[in-house]
Structure 1
Amino acid sequence: MLLNRRGVMLGGAAMGLMPKAALAAKVSAAQAPTEWHFDNLDRIGGHAVKVLGQPGLTTSPWGPAIVFDGAHDALLIDNHPLAGAKTFTFEAQFRPDGGAFAQRWFHLESILDPAAAPGASTTRMLFELRVADGQWYLDAFATGPGYKQTLIVPGRRYPLGQWYHVAQSFDGQHYRSFVNGELQMETPLPFAPQGPGRCSVGARLNGVDHFHGAIRMARFSPYAAM
């Protein structure tokens, strides 16, 4: 196994999440990350799943993954896995397969007003992507009281149809995004912890900007691993 200097597994375009042994050396059990495996359509990370459309199962180099059609498919989960975190790393293994230009494929949202419609919260963080000329580039986004930041570099593009590791992190001062362990963009951010809430996978919580591709795994850490 080849690791880069941040402890992320390298393997061509197919990237793994930070190994558990490396994580154990960095944090106490109380700070252990939460992992979600997208290998079924019933429960993800121990949480019940509401399925929209007809997402299905496919394969990845590491086991089963869930595939989305880019038009109708999404998963809704009543959990914000980074709620309360003062620092964080939000990672995922995914395969973008093309589709619409803008795809908001992993949406974490705090519920500030129980009566508010899904997707309407002003406190959220997302993984998005943009598809252009047969390639894609990453868009990471976080917003909340006193902060709002997009991390996007249109010139850093990658081929479609391959597996990637993506991450966004906040270390108490700087907000950063990564593809395959390589820094995309960083900026200071006056981040404040987000509250409990919900999330959607495969589309934005209000049912737009669907994702065409597959997701194998996500990891949520209450510290900056990258």
Structure 2
Amino acid sequence: MIARAILALALALLPASVEARQTLWRFDNLAHIGHMAPQVLGHPQVQRTPEGKALVFDGVQDALILPRHPLAGAAQFTAEALFRPDGGAFEQRWLHLASDDQPGRPPGETRILFEIRVVGAAWYLDTFVKGPGYAQVLVDPARLHPLGRWYHVAQTFDGTTYRSYVNGVLEGEARVAFTPQGPGSASVAMRRNGVNHFHGAIARARFTDRALAPRDFLPLPR
């Protein structure tokens, strides 16, 4: 716990001139994503879309597992993606970044999540961070968006405040005593334990070890 706090303080005090580290995952094939060979579950399909090639998931069994937590060690962060929700079950977890469990802690305790909730022909965003000493959800069921369209979604942490966005518009924020998460893995289009599958398409995801302003996000969907 003390080591994590020291790491968070050291990273927060880095000079502003230090260039941010970014990791880009393009979901345009099933062989290599972010220089990693994914474990493929079910039969995700590569599809040409207005956002370029994307992977389409059936909401039942399709998913990927990648052997990396791309924000491990980051005291600040931005996680963002271009995706298209197509309906299906009410609760869908479409990106799950999980730290490896530490001795004495419950499985899957430390994580960063993107979820959606589907209501009729619309959806709303649900983001979540959890780790030792913190757990924060950002969700507003009143902020509904039509299904079947491309969206940019993001969550950021600037050292003090955790925020969520849809198409660059702030949807929620809260102060969080976040500390850097450890190395681990990621699941795409399902919860890390294999439930709450996602029905829709994902084109790109990008991870930055700084809190970006909306003007610096990936370009908005066309």
TM interval, shorter chain, is 0.7 to 0.9
Identify the match of residue 107 of structure 1 among 96, 104, 110: 96
CA 1:212 to 1:27, structure 2 compared with 1: closer, same or farther past 3 Å?
Answer: farther
Cα distance in 2 for residues equivalent to 1:176 and 1:60: 28
Cα distance in 2 for residues equivalent to 1:222 and 1:113: 22
Partner amino acid, structure 1, of 2:193: N
Q: What is the deviation of 1:27?
A: 6.3
Structure 1, gaps ≥5 residues long: 1-25
State the TM-score, normalizing by the size of structure 1. 0.84
Q: Which residue of 1 aligns with 2:138?
A: 151
Q: Which residue of 2 aligns with 1:62?
A: 51
Q: What is the deviation of 1:106?
A: 0.2
Q: Which residue of 1 aligns with 2:60?
A: 71
Q: Which residue of 1 aligns with 2:84?
A: 95
Cα distance in 1 for residues equivalent to 2:183 and 2:17: 23
**Does residue 32 of structure 2 align to residue 43 of structure 1?**
yes
Q: Which residue of 2 aligns with 1:169?
A: 156
Determine helix, strand or coil for the equivalent of 1:43. coil
Cα distance in 2 for residues equivalent to 1:34 and 1:132: 32
Q: Which residue of 1 aligns with 2:69?
A: 80
Partner amino acid, structure 2, of 1:197: G
CA 1:101 to 1:129, structure 2 compared with 1: closer, same or farther past 3 Å?
Answer: same
Partner amino acid, structure 2, of 1:138: L
Cα distance in 2 for residues equivalent to 1:27 and 1:182: 27
Could you say what the CA RMSD is over the residues aligned between the two structures, in angstroms? Answer: 1.7
Cα distance in 1 for residues equivalent to 2:152 and 2:38: 23
- Paired residues, number: 198
Cα distance in 1 for residues equivalent to 2:132 and 2:17: 28
Cα distance in 2 for residues equivalent to 1:216 and 1:222: 21
Q: What is the deviation of 1:113?
A: 4.3
Q: Which residue of 1 aligns with 2:111?
A: 124
Q: Which residue of 1 aligns with 2:177?
A: 190
Cα distance in 1 for residues equivalent to 2:163 and 2:188: 21
Cα distance in 2 for residues equivalent to 1:62 and 1:202: 18
Cα distance in 2 for residues equivalent to 1:111 and 1:221: 20
1:18-56 Cα shifts (integer Å, max 9, x gaps): xxxxxxxx8644x23110000000111001100000001
Q: Which residue of 2 aligns with 1:52?
A: 41
Structure 2, gaps ≥5 residues long: 1-15, 214-222
Cα distance in 2 for residues equivalent to 1:52 and 1:27: 42
CA 1:40 to 1:223, structure 2 compared with 1: closer, same or farther past 3 Å?
Answer: same
Identity level (%): 56
Cα distance in 2 for residues equivalent to 1:124 and 1:131: 22
Partner amino acid, structure 1, of 2:42: G
Determine helix, strand or coil for the equivalent of 1:167. strand
Cα distance in 2 for residues equivalent to 1:159 and 1:43: 31
Cα distance in 2 for residues equivalent to 1:134 and 1:27: 45
